[in-house]
A and B are shown apart, each in its own frame.
Chain A
Amino acid sequence: MQLHRARAEIEALGARLVLIGQATPRQAAHFRRRQGVELPVLADEARTTYKSAGAKKATFNELLGPKVLAKGMATSARYGVHQGRTIGHAAQLGGAMVVRQDGSVAWSHMSEDASDNAEPAEIIAALRAA
């Protein structure tokens, strides 16, 4: 969870950072405790907002293909973050979106595969420009 380390920088911009997960509030709370994350986490068990945000479900190759696995292992090694037990729909991909005060979307990055995640720097740059 690299993003929680950027929280101070994001809040200094007058912006907010909110995580949305596809499970229950109780699992969201457990996630926060286990990962040491102090960001708000919303629970979207039905994945309604995933659909509205344009996130997609992965094919097998987009989930566990060799390129995806290699990139995932490199990211784990770089940040010391390791995947635990999957909670929620295993093939549901995520993404990120910056929404302006007027409701327009300033920037988005919806994952194309399991290793495709927006960098915190991209999100911060988008918030600066929003």
Chain B
Amino acid sequence: MLGTAKQRGHTSAPARADALADVVLPDHEGHDVRLGDLWRDGPVALVWLRHYG
């Protein structure tokens, strides 16, 4: 139901963001953003929203 997991899972944040660095996502204006560029000049807080609702 609602695509929920059948069993309780575990969160597992990595120690390094290397797997995220080369990911390119469009922003709200449709411009591509390479995630690694976000922390190139300083620290960044990335917040993953549960949903847009």
Q: Given A25, A40, A86, A95, which contacts B11 in the complex, CB threshold below 8 Å?
A: A95
Q: How far is the CA of A38 from the CA of B53 in the complex (A)?
A: 17
A60 & B1 in contact (Cβ 8 Å cutoff) = yes
Q: Which residues of B contact A29 (CB under 8 A)?
A: 28-29
**B contact patch SS:** loop
List, in ascending order, chain B residues with CB within 8 A of A123's CB. Answer: 45, 47
Contact across chains for A101 and B43 when beta carbons are under 8 A apart? yes
Q: Count contacts between A and B, CB distance < 8 Å.
A: 205
A44 and B51 CA atoms in complex are apart in Å by: 11
Give chain B nearest CB distance to A49 CB in angstroms: 6
Which residues of B from 2 to 53 have beta carbons under 8 Å from A? 2-21, 23, 25-30, 33, 35-36, 38-53
For residue B53, give the distance in angstroms from its CB to the closest CB of chain A. 4
Q: How many residues of A contact B (CB 8 A)?
A: 72
Instruction: Flag if B20 contacts A52 (CB, 8 Å).
Output: yes
Q: Does A130 lie at the interface of the complex (its beta carbon under 8 Å from any beta carbon of B)?
A: yes
A16: chain B residues within 8 A (beta carbon): 38-39, 42-45
Say yes or no: A17 contacts B4, CB within 8 Å. no
Q: B3 and A89: CB pair below 8 A? A: yes
Contacts known (A17-B44, A110-B11, A127-B45); A58 close to B5, Cβ less than 8 A:
yes
A106 close to chain B: CB less than 8 A: yes
Q: Mark A47-79, 1 if CB is under 8 A from B, else 0.
A: 011101111111110110000000000000000
A-B contact pairs, 20 of them (CB 8 A): A16-B44, A17-B45, A22-B51, A27-B52, A28-B28, A29-B28, A42-B27, A42-B28, A42-B35, A43-B25, A49-B48, A88-B51, A91-B3, A93-B11, A95-B11, A96-B45, A98-B44, A101-B42, A103-B36, A105-B16
